[in-house]
Structure formats: C-alpha cells, structure tokens
Amino acid sequence: MITNNVGIVNEMCIYDVAIIGGGVIGCNIARYLSKYNLKICLIEKESDVACRTSSANSGIVHAGYDAVPGTLKAKFNVRGNEMMDEISHDLDVPFKRIGSLVIAFDEKDMEILKELYERGISNGVPDMQILDGNQVREKEPAVNSKVIGALYAPTAGIICPYELTIGAAEIAVQNGVELMLDSEVVAIKVVHIDVKNIENTSGSVDGINIGKVYEIELKGSQTKIYSRYIVNAAGVYSDKIAAMVGDTSFTVTPRKGEYLLMDKNQGKIVNSVIFQTPSQMGKGILVSPTVDGNLLLGPTAKNIEDKEDISTDRTGLSQVIQGALRSVPDVDLSKVITSFSGLRAVSSTGDFIIGESKAARGFINVAGIESPGLTAAPAIAEYVAQLLEKAGLILVLKDNYMKVRKPFKRFRNLQENELRELIKKNPLYGNIICRCEKVSAAEIVEAIRRPAGARTLDGVKRRTRAGMGRCQGGFCTPRIMHILSQELGIPMEKVTKSGGDSWMILNR
C-alpha cells in the first residue's frame, strides 16, 4: 500500500464511508448507515444493484439450524430471520414465512436431521419439529413417498432477494447515499490530506484517520473517490478488494449454483421450502415456491475459478432436475421458464468474515457472505455499524431519516376498485406492457424514476417483473426499450440489457 500526500482536497469530496459492492449486503449496510449523519457512497461495478449473487440465489430466509453454533453464520442467520418481518414491511418486499422441511430418505438422513435440530436449539431457532413420514406427506402431499421424516422449521420463509436489495438501495439513496454505478474499483491507497479539510459532517475532527484517507480509483475514470472508512462488501471479489489494501488474510472462491425456474402453474405443488439433507457442499437441491408464485429448483454446488462465470451447463441443469425429482417426483419439467446460475462467495475460513482488517484501519471486510447471507443481511448491516463506531466513526442519528420505502403499486396486486381509481389518476396504469405478469407502463416508468432506478432491461425486469413471465419478454421487450429510451433520454440504440456492451440493437 502506497501512502503519499495529495495535498488539499475539497472537503465535500471526502466520504465518511465508501461501501464497495451493491449487493444485498452492501445495499443493506448503506440503508442502515443512511440513518446517521454521514456522507456515504455505494460503489457498484455493474449498472444496477443486485446484479450478481443477490439476483441469482434461492431467495430463502433460513430458520438458522444449518450453521455451526458459535459461528457468525449462526448468529446473524437467527438475528436476520427475526428482523425480516419488519424490514420486508419497511422496504415493501414480498416475504412469506412458509416454513421449511429438510426431508430424510433413510436412517442416516434422520441422524443428520437430529443433528440439525440440536444445532437449531443451540442457535436459538424456535418451534422446530421432527416429523415422521406421514406427517410430512400430510403437510406436503407431493413429496416423494419414500421420505421417512423431516425437520420442520416454521420460521423459514421465502423472499425476493433482488427486491430486498433494491428496496434497501432505494432507502439508502433517498436518505442521501450516493449510488455510483458502472464503477469498478481498481485500486485503493491511503493518502494524506490537509487536516482542515477532513472535518466530518458532524463538525468534529476525526480522531483516528487525521490526515489519512482512502483514495479509491475507478476503472476508466480520472476522478478519485476519497473516504475515511471503507466497507468491503464486494461479494466474490471481496478478496481482490481486500488485497488492494494489503489484506491477503483470506480468499473467496466462487461456488456456482444453477437453478431452473418453473411456470406459475407449478408454483403450488409444494407449500413450503423442501430441502434435502445437507452435505459438505451445501444444502442440496431444494424445491420451493417463490414469492411470485413460481417454482424454483436448485441449486447445484460447484467450485469454479472464474468470478464472472455465471453460465449454466447441461450437467448442472440435469443435476438440478434429478435432485428436484428426488424430492418431488411430480414436478412437470416441460414447464421450465428459464435457467440461471449464481455464485456463492465461499470464504477460505468457512465462516463469514466480518471485521476491521488487520492490515488497514477503518477498512471493514464483509466477505465470504454465502448462504445464509440473504437472511443475515439486515443483521450484518446492524453489526457493521457497530464495527465502524468501534473503529472511531461517530454515528449521529438524522432527524429526517425516511425508514419506510414508498410502496410500489403493482397492477397485479391491486383490487378492481383500487385499479379503477388509480387509472383515473394515472392512465398509464391502464396500459399493460408485460401481459404475462400484468405489468403496466406506469410501473415501468416508476421503476426508472425511483431513487436508485432502473437503467437497463434487466433493471426494469427485477423491479417490475416485466419480461419474467412465461414469454420471457418476447412481447414486451421492444416496448420496454421504448420506455427506457424515452425516460432516460437516450436513443434506442443505447438501451442495454444489463449495462456495459449488452446492446439490444447493433445498428439501425
């Protein structure tokens, strides 16, 4: 790490906290910190939040019996689960506590269930039950008739993972966090700056980092970002980011999980999340309804090298199918809508790595957040704030903090009389753009205009579900491209699927 004096920098340009990574962890930390009087930026290399792991996972709010007692995973899973009702309400994110079943096919599996049950007890998971085969089938008639028992955890639930991320980003931005998209961090160094210019927003001069701030360099940009604290929430890249400040104490391996998403007509085949008994590589293939009413099958678990590789392959997809059919033999495989994969950020320590780096003061690692990271996200955010305070950041609550996200009125969720009123006020609610998911033009316009709004087709899709239905955007894609072009003031040729070079049109 190079330290040099860059002289006087405009005070306005110095952030109190720079959060690297706009996934569910980074966004929830940003949301949590935005209630304090702090100058915060959230740096994301993609053109939207929730682009990677946070948009491609199982969407499960775990009960908390998987993690080994005493680990950070155990601690934050149970705490995160408790917090989820309130946060999902505040962020207007669909969340359903539908319970989970870990099913057992033989006595060996039953032994593992008992182990999980014990872990759950130690971790403080409430209301678990071990069911016998008949009780399982009573609850879930579609599970394999060979199942002899299951661990039932009623506090488990399903949530929309990207909505949890987007909702948090929206609250953060609304409360003053600067969201920097298309911003890939390529270097971080510590620089000296004239003391007078680093007064923090509360007016006092910071005790620890006087004269020293982090200088963050972004790919393809001359402008540097200066920040007194850094939160490294860069997912599979968090080891690379840590290495930029000389912290090589851990590595993060991407572990790919492939999924199949089924049509809504399959969504009611099970009522709860059906897991198989876990192995070394994870919790096995699950079968679960999604909050939107589809059925999700997956994930596989395969360690890979390439941190960008989110391709699916035939082997992986057939593993998903075999695994799912083992749990629920009647899944109709002709009803696949799409397949996708996501990368878990698996740390070399086996647990979440959350704490101030030993190599760099004021640099907080939030790394290796694999499952149950989604569940843990709100709890981790709370904890990171404590860590920052411990590291010297002064946290003063804002007077005007907006805690609750403005509800997103969605055509498909509204009653007829509500719709009638709404269309009177805003005719665009009467203009259905995505017919499979019944998404109106008003919702698409709103998705673009909201804080931390959509800038790409995928961004619109994640915020509204337009293009997520059975026709996968066949009908609505050109129409959404028009709205994006109009709302963003860009020509059609500049509309992208997911930012960067993902152009939808190559020439006129």
| CB of residue 9 to other proteins, shortest distance in Å | 34
The residues binding other proteins (CB under 8 A) are 260-261, 308, 310-314, 316-317, 336-340, 409, 416-417, 419-420, 422-432, 435-436, 438, 441-442, 445-446, 449-450, 470-475, 477-478, 482-483, 486, 492-493, 496-508
Of residues 104 and 343, the one with the C-beta less far from other proteins: 343
Q: Which is nearer to other proteins, 100 or 300 (CB)?
A: 300
Q: How far apart are CB 478 and other proteins at their closest, in Å?
A: 5
* Exposure string over 263-284, b if 16+ CB within 10 A, otherwise e: bbebbebbebbbbbbbeeebbb
For other proteins, the closer of residues 188 and 454 by Cβ is 454
Distance separating alpha carbons of residues 178 and 265, to the nearest angstrom = 41
Nearer Cβ to other proteins (391/504): 504
Please report, in angstroms and rounded to a whole number, the separation of the first and last CA atoms in the chain. Answer: 48
Q: How far is the CB of 406 from other proteins (least distance, A)?
A: 9
CA distance 182 to 44: 6
DSSP category for residue 195: G
Cis peptide leading into residue 372 (ω within 30°): yes
Which residue in 62, 89, 192, 482 is the catalytic one?
62
3-state secondary structure of 151: strand
Any idea which residue has 């894609």 for tokens? 477
* Closer to other proteins by Cβ: residue 54 or 200: 54
Burial track 369-402 (b if 16+ CB lie within 10 A, e otherwise): bbbbbbbbbbbbbbbbbebbeebebbeeeeeeeb
Active site residue 62: yes
Q: Token digits for 461? A: 């899709």
Question: Closest approach of Cβ 298 to other proteins, in Å?
Answer: 13
Least separation in angstroms between residue 420's CB and other proteins is: 5
CA distance 223 to 239: 24
Cα 6 from Cα 213, distance rounded (Å): 10
Nearest approach, Cβ of residue 500 and other proteins (Å): 4
DSSP character for 71? Answer: S
Which are the contacts of 400, defined by CB distance < 8 A and separation ≥ 6? Answer: none
Nearer to other proteins, 3 or 311 (CB): 311
Q: Give the active site residues.
A: 62
